[in-house]
Amino acid sequence: MSTTEQRVAIVTGAARGIGAATAVRLAAEGRAVAVIDLDEAACKDTVEKITAAGGKAVAIGCDVSDSEQVEAAVTRVASELGAPTILVNNAGVLRDNLLFKMSDTDWDTVMNVHLRGAFLMSRACQKHMVDAKFGRIVNLSSSSALGNRGQVNYSAAKAGLQGFTKTLAIELGKFGVTANAVAPGFIVTDMTAATAERVGMGFEDFQAAAATQIPVQRVGRPDDIANAIAFFTGEAAGFVSGQVLYVAGGPLN
């Protein structure tokens, strides 16, 4: 890549929440960004935010758990923006329930979006990264990887993503590709709003209660996570690989 060429980033689940903040942040760092989510129309706001600030972005509808859709999306990114060499596997869903009430579908859906999705996207993008001898993969894990009541599916997927990340780092390091995981704590998004609803609490009260348990005494915002992802995807982070960074307002391990 010449110094004038723009690196191309893919952010999945970027229609809203952490993914949207990350797409906007990476565009502000000079990346051309593919904003991927289930529904192309839902990506419009994120794309408009980027282009209004003078950045470059395209909206692409894709279910990351579907192999054919992933291949088609990555091919489209390569032809419309250029070879994707930055990938943020952020798309996620919750299907919380206690083990004895959890359905097969609750289990499979969470595994498919988080684990299969990250696998399919990484496999589709790695050839572009290997050709470019440069790549940055960031996978969204979670503090729930350490265990969380009602989330046996989600915590297994988020812990799985940590092993996935470390193995990508080992396999792809010799091609100039790093892989790291960011594991957020409580971040204010539609996802945590849905959790508040499930446990029967108002979202404001839910946030206030969470903040009392967090050493910095506040809940996180999507930009808190976008900042960490921007570091891992940066040119300067080439010697940082296979790491899991908890971004949770306090220590977790």
Ligand X SMILES: NC(=O)c1ccc[n+]([C@@H]2O[C@H](COP(=O)([O-])OP(=O)(O)OC[C@H]3O[C@@H](n4cnc5c(N)ncnc54)[C@H](O)[C@@H]3O)[C@@H](O)[C@H]2O)c1
Q: Which residues bind ligand X (CB under 6 A)?
A: 12-13, 15-19, 37-38, 63-65, 90-93, 113, 117, 140, 142, 184, 186-187, 189-192
Tell me the residue number closest to ligand X, measured at CB.
17
Whichever of 37 and 132 has its CB closer to ligand X, that residue is 37
CB 82 within 8 A of CB 8: yes
Catalytic residue among 134, 154, 164, 206: 154
Residue-wise DSSP of 25-42: HHHHTT-EEEEEESSGGG
Residues near 169 by Cβ (< 8 Å), separated by ≥ 6? 178, 179, 180, 241, 242
Q: Which is nearer to ligand X, 132 or 137 (CB)?
A: 137
Query: Taking the complex as a whole, how short is the minimal distance between the CB of residue 101 and ligand X, in angstroms?
Result: 21
Q: Which of 88, 107, 89 is nearest to 97 (CA)?
A: 107
Q: How far is the CB of 225 from ligand X (least distance, A)?
A: 7
Name the residue nearer to ligand X (CB basis): 16 or 95: 16
Radius of gyration of the chain (CA): 17
| φ, ψ at 63 (rounded to 5°) | -90, 115
Structure-token pair, residue 240: 């940082």
Residue 127: which of 180, 80, 71 has the closest Cα? 71
Shortest distance, CB of residue 250 to ligand X, whole angstroms? Answer: 14
Catalytic (active site) residue 246: no
Select 6 or 109, whichever has its Cβ closest to ligand X. Answer: 109
Show Cβ contacts of residue 171 under 8 Å, excluding neighbours closer than 6 positions. none
Strand partners, 140: 182
CB 29, min distance to ligand X, A: 19
* Residues that are catalytic: 154
